[in-house]
Copies of this chain bind each other. A is one copy, B any other.
Amino acid sequence: MPETPAVPAGKRPTLADVAARAGVSTALVSIVMRDAKGASAATRERVLQAAREIGYRPDARARLLRSQRSRLLGVQFGLQHPFHTDLVEGLYAAAEPAGYQIALSAVAAGRGEQRAVETLLADRCEALILLGPQAPAARLAEVAGQLPVVSVARRLRPAIPGLEVVRTADDEGARQAVDHLVALGHRDIVHIDGGRAPGAADRRRGYRTAMNRHGLAEHIRIIPGGLTEEDGADAARALSADRPHPTAVMAFNDRCATGVLDVFLRAGIAVPDDISVVGFDDSHLARLAHIDLTTVGQDIPRLAHLAVSRAVARLEGDQVLAGEDVITPRLVVRSTTAPPSL
């Protein structure tokens, strides 16, 4: 049974309540709460004790209101994307040591990006980190005019002033995937693309370039996909009707690849014996022991860390390297790729 707090019912305790109980000024309580210097060890203990007794908890909003800085980073993410949720995990981890808090705003059915961003702005975030934003460049430019914005995974050309980009070298990732498959002996390599999704254009280009360099121009084949399992499944169904099958598939991302895998298994097409499959992202999904997907690894913790660093640097007025942070991906070979059967 928790002891009844010694403050009027229904009201949460404030600095003043603590101050009264400890017999000091509110300013001093504030000092103690912030762990700032200016209080003796003895009073410090007395104040903390009083605070504990009445169950005091600082009001983040009042605090933010008064202090010029909110130390709040707004993050927009897609609720249903494992790649995004992995990133969010990394953002939490990176923001903490830098002394910043994360405010989440989800994009979901019935809640668009516009909406998500507006909430973050109203909440007084100092900077925005947008995960794979799909909003038109003009809209992003408008927001970037108001506060520092970091776009993760979505490249923006031409550059937008006030908006920084942290992304993986998608073309390079696609190249690595193709190189790997070619080294295994594949020639007939299909790319299931991501349509208009962030990064899709670069991955397409990387695939094309790599195929050309290997002299496989006439094997280039791009079929429309997307970023969900269903998109992958649809594409795989289209593929499995083909005779002969291609010997390898490079999917837009892990979710897409998972859809492909499943359809193939059901259609009796063995992976990797009959056909090899490569994903992209190295999200949670790919690492699961029973999926064990060969995939182009995006360095998620690094992306998260850089996004936070960029935002913080802008806020603290440090010199920021203009341009983008482009992270080199690293192919993670697991068990969905093998030499083609003869």
Contacts and interface: CB of A to CB of B under 8 A. Distances in A.
A274 interface: no
A134 interface: no
Nearest to A233: B290
Interface of A: 2, 12, 55, 57-62, 64-65, 70, 79-80, 82, 85, 88-89, 92-93, 101, 104-106, 108-111, 118-119, 121-124, 141-142, 145-146, 229-230, 233, 236, 259, 262-263, 265-266, 284, 288-291
Given A59-B122, A229-B288, 17 more contacts: A12-B146, A59-B65, A59-B124, A60-B122, A60-B124, A61-B64, A61-B124, A79-B85, A80-B82, A85-B85, A85-B108, A88-B108, A92-B106, A101-B119, A104-B106, A259-B288, A262-B291
A109 B110 CA distance: 28
For this chain, the copies found in one complex come to 2
6 contacts: A60-B119, A60-B122, A60-B123, A229-B291, A230-B288, A233-B290
A230 to B, nearest CB: 6
A146 B85 CA distance: 30
A62 B123 CA distance: 9
A77 B119 CA distance: 19
A93 B106 contact: no
Contacts of A108: 85, 88-89, 92
A142 B262 CA distance: 46
A288 B263 CA distance: 11
Contacts of A118: 57
Contacts of A111: 89, 92
B89 A109 contact: yes
A106 B88 contact: yes
A233 B291 CA distance: 10
Contact of A230 (B82, B121, B124, B290): B290
Nearest to A68: B11
